[in-house]
């Protein structure tokens, strides 16, 4: 009982003394949870073909909220980065974010092979990234290169591959605008993750800034990327639903 009370007091002390990392764990947890509720509720507002997209958006933020709940407690009790928890979160949510690209373009002809390639690339990126981050200084650059290859393939698919081609031929301004925003998330929003990786001891940006601040950047990036992804999907679903319902009324 005394041990639990001491841990709680330590966690409270971190919040009271404005530990920015601890605060962003709390913000991340609540923001992800609220977003998951929003996406699940809003499924009733869109046509059937878009319901799965909002379901996946809710799953992404819901899974992240659960992990942030545990990562928050882990950080408050230990003061160290919850690397394993974070990679479990990413291993579940990043492939789901790739699924969103497929679901967005599915109404316009996307094939299952595109989804398969995106998921494999995301798993390569994450598994090799975790190995590199936990295997020590000697090999983290090598594993980082493998991880970057997976990331660059996702970028290729979105900018020039099947996803890009389907977006171009869809004749949907809403999809075009959404894909433009998702490209920004992929290139700028996701860039914080490889930068955080390269700051690790022995890597290319080692010493650029304190390793202890990586969680601060990761927490903010997670909230922006995952919630932002969902809101972009939501905007497309709402716009396409309104368009189809207007066309139905006109006919």
Running DSSP on this structure, what letter comes out for residue 209?
S
Burial of 24 (0-12, 13-18, 19+ CB in 10 A): buried
CATH class of 2-250: mainly alpha
Residue 91: CB atoms within 10 A of its CB come to: 16
- The residues, any chain, with a CB within 8 Å of residue 39's CB and separated by 6 or more, are 54, 55, 57, 58, 61, 230, 234
Q: Which residue has the tokens 């020039």?
A: 160
Contact 67/226 with Cβ under 8 angstroms? no
Burial of 204 (0-12, 13-18, 19+ CB in 10 A): middle
Quick one: pLDDT at residue 16?
47
Mean pLDDT of 208-237: 87
The answer, as to whether pTM is greater than 0.85, is: yes
Q: Summarize pLDDT for 80-128 with one digit per residue, the tens.
A: 889 899 999 999 999 999 999 998 888 788 888 999 999 999 999 999 9
Would you state the structure tokens that stand for residue 198, as one six-digit string?
């390269």
């Amino acid at each position: 009982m005394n041990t639990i009370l001491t841990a709680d007091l330590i966690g409270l002390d971190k919040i009271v003394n404005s530990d920015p990392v601890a605060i962003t764990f709390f913000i991340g947890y609540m923001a992800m949870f609220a977003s998951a509720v929003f996406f699940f509720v809003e499924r009733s507002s869109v046509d059937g073909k878009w319901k799965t997209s909002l379901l996946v958006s809710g799953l992404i933020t819901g899974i992240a909220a659960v992990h942030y709940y545990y990562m928050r407690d882990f950080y408050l009790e230990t003061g160290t980065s919850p690397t394993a928890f974070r990679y479990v979160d990413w291993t579940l949510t990043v492939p789901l974010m790739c699924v969103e690209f497929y679901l967005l373009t599915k109404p316009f002809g996307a094939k299952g092979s595109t989804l398969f390639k995106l998921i494999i690339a995301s798993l390569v990126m994450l598994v090799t990234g975790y190995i590199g981050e936990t295997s020590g200084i000697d090999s983290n650059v090598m594993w980082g290169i493998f991880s970057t290859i997976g990331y660059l393939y996702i970028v290729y698919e979105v900018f020039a591959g099947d996803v890009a081609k389907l977006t171009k031929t869809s004749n949907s301004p809403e999809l075009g605008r959404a894909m433009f925003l998702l490209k920004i998330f992929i290139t700028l929003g996701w860039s914080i993750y490889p930068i955080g990786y390269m700051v690790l001891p022995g890597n290319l940006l080692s010493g650029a800034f304190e390793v202890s601040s990586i969680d601060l950047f990761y927490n903010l990036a997670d909230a922006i990327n995952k919630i932002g992804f969902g809101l972009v999907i939501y905007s497309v679903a709402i716009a396409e639903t309104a368009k189809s319902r207007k066309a139905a009324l006109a006919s």
